[in-house]
Structure 1
Amino acid sequence: MATLRISSALIYQNTLTHHFRLRRPHRFVCKSMTKTTPDTTLVELSRRSGNYQPSPWNHCYLLSIENKYASETEVITRDVLKKKVKSMLDDEKKSRLEQLELIDDLQKLGVSYHFEIEINDTLTDLHLKMGRNCWKCDKEEDLHATSLEFRLLRQHGFDVSENIFDVIIDQIESNTFKTNNINGIISLYEASYLSTKSDTKLHKVIRPFATEQIRKFVDDEDTKNIEVREKAYHALEMPYHWRMRRLDTRWYIDAYEKKHDMNLVLIEFAKIDFNIVQAAHQEDLKYVSRWWKDTCLTNQLPFVRDRIVENYFWTVGLIYEPQFGYIRRIMTIVNALVTTIDDIYDIYGTLEELELFTSMVENWDVNRLGELPEYMRLCFLILYNEINGIGCDILKYKKIDVIPYLKKSWADLCRTYLVEAKWYKRGYKPSLEEYMQNAWISISAPTILIHFYCVFSDQISVQNLETLSQHRQHIVRCSATVLRLANDLGTSPTELARGDVLKSVQCYMHETGASEERARDHVHQMISDMWDDMNSETKTACNSSSRSRGFKEAAMNLARMSQCMYQYGDGHGCPEKAKTIDRVQSLLVDPIPLDVNRLG
Structure 2
Amino acid sequence: MALASAFLSNPSFISLNFRKHSKPGGTLSYRRINGKLNNFPPSSHQRNSANYQPTPWSYDFLQSLNNGYTDEKYDARERMLLEDVRRMIVNPNTEPLPKLELIDDVQRLGLGYRFHNEIKDALHSYVSWEQKRCPTKQCRRLHEAALSFRLLRDHGYRVSPDIFESFKDQNRNFNACHSSDVKGLLSLYEAAFLGYRGEHILEEAKVFTTTHLSDMMKEIISNDHLWGQAIRHALDLPLHRRTRRLEARWYIEAHGKRKNADKVLLEAAILDFNIVQSTLQRDLQEMSSWWKAMGLASKLSFSRDRLMECFFWAVGMASEPQHSELRKALTKVTCFITTIDDVYDVYGTLDELELFTAAVERWDINAMQDLPEYMKVCFLALYNTVNKMTYEALREHGHNILPYLTRAWADMLRAFLQEARWSHDKHIPLFDDYVRNAWVSVSGVVILIHAYFFLNHNFSKESLQSLDPHHRLLRCPSVIFRLCNDLATSKAELERGEAANSIICRMHQSGATEENSHKYVRSLVDEAWKEMNEGRGMESKFSRAFVETAMDLARISHCTYQYGDGHGAPDSTSMNRIRLLIAEPIELPENR
Fold match, TM over 0.5? Answer: yes
CA distance in 2 between counterparts of 1:172 and 1:342 reads 54
CA distance in 1 between counterparts of 2:547 and 2:568 reads 27
Q: Return the offset for 1:548.
A: 1.3
Most deviating of 165-174 and 549-558: 165-174
| Residue of structure 1 equivalent to 2:512 | 514
TM-score (norm 1): 0.88
Q: Return the offset for 1:370.
A: 1.7
Higher relative contact order (CA 8 A, sep 6+): 2
Q: How large is the RMSD of aligned CA atoms in angstroms?
A: 2.0
CA distance in 1 between counterparts of 2:136 and 2:476 reads 32
TM-superposition CA deviations, 1:316-373 (whole Å, max 9, x none)? 1101000110110011000101111111001110000000000000001112212101
Q: 1:551 to 1:49 in 2, by over 3 A?
A: same
Unaligned runs of 5+ in 1: 1-43
1:484 and 2:479 matched: no
CA distance in 2 between counterparts of 1:244 and 1:85 reads 23
Q: Return the offset for 1:580.
A: 1.2
| Residue of structure 2 equivalent to 1:181 | 181
SS of alignment partner, residue 223 of structure 2: coil
| Residue of structure 2 equivalent to 1:37 | none
CA distance in 2 between counterparts of 1:310 and 1:461 reads 34
Q: 1:82 to 1:316 in 2, by over 3 A?
A: same
CA distance in 1 between counterparts of 2:134 and 2:426 reads 59
Q: 1:120 to 1:171 in 2, by over 3 A?
A: farther
Q: Return the offset for 1:255.
A: 0.3
Q: 1:594 to 1:425 in 2, by over 3 A?
A: same
| Residue of structure 2 equivalent to 1:531 | 529
Q: Return the offset for 1:564.
A: 0.3
Most deviating of 280-289 and 166-175: 166-175
CA distance in 2 between counterparts of 1:248 and 1:388 reads 36
CA distance in 2 between counterparts of 1:340 and 1:497 reads 24
Q: Return the offset for 1:176.
A: 4.4
Q: How does 1:78-117 map to 2 (within 5 A)?
A: 78-117=78-117
- 8 Å contact kept, 2:303–2:342: yes
Q: 1:85 to 1:372 in 2, by over 3 A?
A: same
TM-superposition CA deviations, 1:101-126 (whole Å, max 9, x none)? 11111111001111100001111222
Amino acid aligned to 1:556: M
Q: Percent identity?
A: 40
CA distance in 2 between counterparts of 1:284 and 1:271 reads 20
| Residue of structure 2 equivalent to 1:397 | 396
CA distance in 1 between counterparts of 2:409 and 2:301 reads 22
Amino acid aligned to 1:49: S
Q: Return the offset for 1:540.
A: 3.5
- 8 Å contact kept, 1:113–1:321: yes
SS of alignment partner, residue 583 of structure 1: helix
TM-superposition CA deviations, 1:392-443 (whole Å, max 9, x none)? 1111112110101101111101000000000011011111111111000000
| Residue of structure 2 equivalent to 1:74 | 74
How many pairs were matched up? 549
CA distance in 1 between counterparts of 2:69 and 2:382 reads 38
CA distance in 2 between counterparts of 1:92 and 1:172 reads 41
Q: How does 1:397-416 map to 2 (within 5 A)?
A: 397-416=396-415
- 8 Å contact kept, 1:317–1:561: yes
SS of alignment partner, residue 591 of structure 1: coil
Q: 1:529 to 1:176 in 2, by over 3 A?
A: closer
Q: How does 1:361-376 map to 2 (within 5 A)?
A: 361-376=360-375
From 574, 583, 587, the equivalent of 1:589 is: 583
| Residue of structure 1 equivalent to 2:565 | 570
TM-score (norm 2): 0.89
| Residue of structure 1 equivalent to 2:420 | 421
CA distance in 1 between counterparts of 2:313 and 2:170 reads 43
CA distance in 2 between counterparts of 1:174 and 1:518 reads 27
Q: 1:174 to 1:486 in 2, by over 3 A?
A: closer
| Residue of structure 2 equivalent to 1:62 | 62
Instruction: Detail structure 1 runs of 4+ shifted over 6 Å in the superposition.
Output: 134-138
- 8 Å contact kept, 1:406–1:451: yes
1:302 and 2:301 matched: yes
| Residue of structure 1 equivalent to 2:3 | none
Q: 1:359 to 1:210 in 2, by over 3 A?
A: same
CA distance in 2 between counterparts of 1:213 and 1:252 reads 23
Q: Return the offset for 1:388.
A: 0.6
Q: 1:172 to 1:329 in 2, by over 3 A?
A: farther
- 8 Å contact kept, 1:295–1:382: yes
SS of alignment partner, residue 471 of structure 1: coil
Q: How does 1:426-437 map to 2 (within 5 A)?
A: 426-437=425-436
SS of alignment partner, residue 519 of structure 2: helix
CA distance in 2 between counterparts of 1:348 and 1:467 reads 36
Q: Return the offset for 1:222.
A: 7.8
Q: Return the offset for 1:501.
A: 3.3
